[in-house]
Amino acid sequence: MVKAGKAARKVGPLATSPSHLMHRALQLALDIYAEETGADGLTQRQFAVLEAVSIKAGLTQTELVRMTGIDRSTLADLVTRMTSKGLLERERSTLDARAKAVRLSAEGSARLEAARPLVEAADKRIMALLPKGQRETFLNQLADLAAAADAAPDAAKAEAKAAKKALKAAEKEAKKAEKAAKKADRPAKPAKVKKPKLKLVEPT
């Protein structure tokens, strides 16, 4: 195990780039996962989908996206391939007649049970690369990042809604200003001069 501070740290912009470092860490994690599960084992995403479905049967695609964090288009293709392999079964959702729900097949359940100890071994190998005193903090930080990823779509929707509302308000104010400017440019109407009324005086 590499002790904290003992490894030679690289210098340069990549050494301080969180996105680059997380990508490198992800590569390492996936390599360890592949070594433990084997060439014929479930991929990390397949395992995540099966585990999610095992927690709650009859999940729709929208619910699977929320639970696994896999984007909708990738998940749709993944579920299709896993169904064709006999790992999942599709059925009409009981809550939404327009949606398709998925559940574990007997094959999928058996593959999941076989994969769990292998995935656990991979996780232990990954965590063993960190000092014991840092592991819980590391997991908490990963959980915080995952929570931020889960909240991102809703935050983006709220931001778009606020921007649309602000645009409408700005357009309304612009129309008011334009109307006021046109009114100010109109020539003033001449004041009406009241003609004196002539009284006829009858001769006496």
What whole-number distance in Å separates Cα of residue 70 and Cα of residue 62? 10
Q: What is the dihedral of CA 160, 165, 170, 171, to 10 degrees?
A: 100
What whole-number distance in Å separates Cα of residue 6 and Cα of residue 9? 9
Residue 59 has pLDDT above 80, yes or no: yes
Residue 8 has pLDDT above 60, yes or no: no
Looking up tokens 């696994």 gives: 68
Helices (H), 38-131: 44-55, 61-68, 72-84, 106-127
Sign of torsion over alpha carbons 71, 72, 75, 81: negative
Residue 162 sits at the vertex; the CA angle it makes with 158 and 163, to the nearest 5 degrees, is 115
Which among 143, 102, 119, 113 is positioned nearest to 43, based on CA atoms?
119
Q: What is the pLDDT of residue 77?
A: 95
Question: What does each C-alpha distance from 144 to 120, 140, 151, 203 come to in angstroms?
Answer: 21, 6, 11, 107
Maximal C-alpha separation, the chain: 133
Give 113's pLDDT tier (boundaries 50, 70, 90).
very high
pLDDT tens per residue, range 60-87: 888 899 999 999 999 999 999 999 999 9
Residue 2 has pLDDT above 60, yes or no: no
Give 3's pLDDT tier (boundaries 50, 70, 90).
very low
Structure tokens at 72: 């909708």
Bridge partners (DSSP) listed for residue 102 = 59, 90
Which DSSP helix (H) or strand (E) runs through 154? helix 132-185
Lowest mean pLDDT among 14-23, 46-55, 90-99, 146-155: 90-99
